[in-house]
Structure 1
Amino acid sequence: MIEIPTLGFLRDQLRRARQARGLSQEELGKLINYSSSAVSAVEVGQKPLNPDYLARVDTVLETGGLFVSLLELIRLHAAPDWFRPWEEVEREATALRWYDPTVIPGLLQTEAYARAMLRAGPLLTPEEVEERVLARMARQAVLSRDQPPQLVAVLDEQALRRQVGDRATMREQLAHLLAVGAQPHVHVRIIPAETSWYIGLNGPFILARLADGTELAHLDNQLRGHTVDGPNDLASLGRRWETVAGEALPRRQSARLIEEVAKSWT
């Protein structure tokens, strides 16, 4: 069985490769246009790894793209085993309908918001948090590819008002939500807080349609999520979607509400 590298392993290899070339952190920093403090922070795990940094190191140290490839390998295996099938669905989907009453959907999260969410629980180590953040950010590439899926996200207003991270994180997240929601293939709609209890408050779900017309859904619980493909379950979730979408404000009114809530985080 092949052992998948970790971010800790990748940082060790970065340090070893630099030292093998006889370069100090300051010397490497000058070559890749990063400060010596940034190089140090990356190597000791105080700064997240990113493809730009690794690509520059690969070029300067002539490692043939090794470090970028290692990061991609880590990303591909960072998500829990039970979630990987849904990642494949997201990559193949032509349409996604996402309802969440509690948090901003993963495909619309900023890095800081995702990191704060994942840090909130006691189950993940700091390294595992960074690996999950890396994987979550990479998933968002589906929205910027050629022929991206049509995404309609319906959120409860409470998801905009529930603090995740610090206030700056919330300001950045709502600004990002507005920016992504302005794209023609992304519709963000908000259910106002004054709405009385409705069936969607029973929990989040995602509906996906593939190019061949196949319909699938994803449900989460406290332990794990699972993919749903049974006709009866899909029909039931379809009816629930119509209910929650019917409670949501139109797209432009939703954007105005997001702008209004964003001011409360200043």
Structure 2
Amino acid sequence: MEEPTAELIRAQLRRLRNVAGLNQEEFGRLVHYSPSMVSAVETGSRPYDRLFLARADEVLNSGGLLVSLLKMAEREGLPSWLRPWLDAERNARQLRCFHPTLIPALLQTENYARAVIRCDDLLSDADVESRVAARMDRQEVLRQPSPPQLIAVLDEGMLHRREESFRGLMAQQIEHLVVCAERPHLSIHVLPLQVGLHIGLSGPFTLARGAEGGWVASMECQLTTSVIDGDADVATLQSRWEMIRSEALPRRQSLELLKEVETSWI
């Protein structure tokens, strides 16, 4: 989290508390913090968390200001190369997503996201939690009143990758996929194990169509996510998407397969 935004959150917290006519002791009682803890949060000697800010927003009738600022700070803490794609994703009316090795970010549970992000042992615990929170916030695009249509193709192999310590995590994740697949604006298709070599093995990508009809794409690698907006390159990825989608199971069959795999993880 960048320090200017963190200080802005603390300054707004102090301002809102004073406008409400509450001293630190009175405010602390309402948010279940001691006066010394409130003081520590306001001065920056103790970090705040989402739960505290959500409670503060409620007590201070701020209309969600503090949590909104926290989301802004978390986005600022993300790698700069990811931000252009997040803008395209938030404004998309249609999304087409393929990933050969992982559940796509917009369909991940919090625990699955944490396990994936934690694979990078160069990240501190604070960095991991910040990125998990930011990833969960990305999923708000699917819960807005007029969400984009999302079609995702998953490789069946990732659903069977076995490690006993992940049993509960994977059962929860696949249950979440089943719930998502039954929502009207989401369509999840599984590329079955019987499909051998295919163009999707070259790597994951996502296509996004904006409100004005134009398409952009993103391609992930180990170090970065590239935003692709050239007509020829986007057309190539659209063609590859159609080839991958044609190899995947239909929606209903995919849902039945997900339910079978879920049972195997329980």
Give the TM-score normalised by the residue count of structure 1.
0.81
Equivalent residue for 1:37? Answer: none
CA RMSD after TM alignment: 3.1
| 1:163/1:85 CA distance change after superposition, 3 Å | farther
What's the % identity of the aligned pairs? 44
CA 1:59–1:243: 2 relative to 1, 3 Å: closer
- Tell me the distance in 2 between the aligned counterparts of 1:153 and 1:130: 26
- 1:72–1:155: structure 2 CA closer, same or farther, 3 Å change rule? same
Secondary structure of the residue aligned to 1:97 is: strand
What's the offset of the Cα at 1:6? 6.0
Offset of residue 147 of structure 1: 1.6
Contact between 1:4 and 1:73, CA under 8 Å: does it hold in 2?
Answer: no
Counterpart Cα distance in 2 of 1:169 and 1:134: 17
Q: Deviations over 1:103-155 (max 9, x none)?
A: 10000111111011100112211111111111111111111112211100001
* Aligned counterpart, 1:3: 3
Q: Which position in structure 1 is the counterpart of 2:112?
A: 113
2:71 match: 72
Work out whether residues 71 and 137 of structure 2, in 8 Å CA contact, stay in contact via their aligned partners in 1.
Answer: no
Judging changes above 3 Å, is the alpha-carbon distance between structure 1 residues 22 and 249 closer, same or farther for their aligned structure 2 residues?
A: same
1:73 deviates by 2.8
The aligned residue for residue 240 of structure 1 is 240
Q: How far 1:236 sits from its partner (Å)? A: 1.3
2:261 is matched with which residue? 261
Unaligned runs of 5+ in 2: 18-22, 34-44
Rounded Cα–Cα distance in structure 2 between residues aligned with 1:33 and 1:261 = 43
1:33 to partner: Cα distance: 7.5
Query: Which letter does structure 1 place at the counterpart of 2:24?
Result: R
Matched residue, 1:84? 83
CA drift at 1:175: 0.8
The alignment's TM-score, normalised by the length of structure 2, stands at 0.81
Counterpart of 1:221 in structure 2 is: 221
| 1:147 lines up with 2:146 in the alignment | yes
Instruction: Assess if the C-alpha contact under 8 Å between 1:74 and 1:131 holds in 2.
Output: no
Q: How many Å separate the matches in 1 of 2:242 and 2:65?
A: 48
Counterpart Cα distance in 1 of 2:240 and 2:194: 19
What is the aligned length?
244
Is contact 1:4-1:77 (8 Å) kept?
A: no
**1:31-46 correspondence runs (5 A):** 31-32=30-31
Aligned to 1:169: 169
Task: Render the CA deviation track for 1:81-112: whole Å, top value 9, x for unaligned.
Answer: 10100001011111110001101000011111
Alpha-carbon offset, residue 262 of structure 1: 1.0
Q: Describe the superposition over 1:180-205 as per-residue Cα deviations: whole angstroms up to 9, x where unpaired.
A: 11111100000111211111111111
Q: Aligned equivalents of 2:202 and 2:262: distance in 1?
A: 26
Q: Is the 1:163–1:170 Cα contact (8 Å) retained in structure 2?
A: no
1:5–1:74 Cα contact (<8 Å) kept: yes
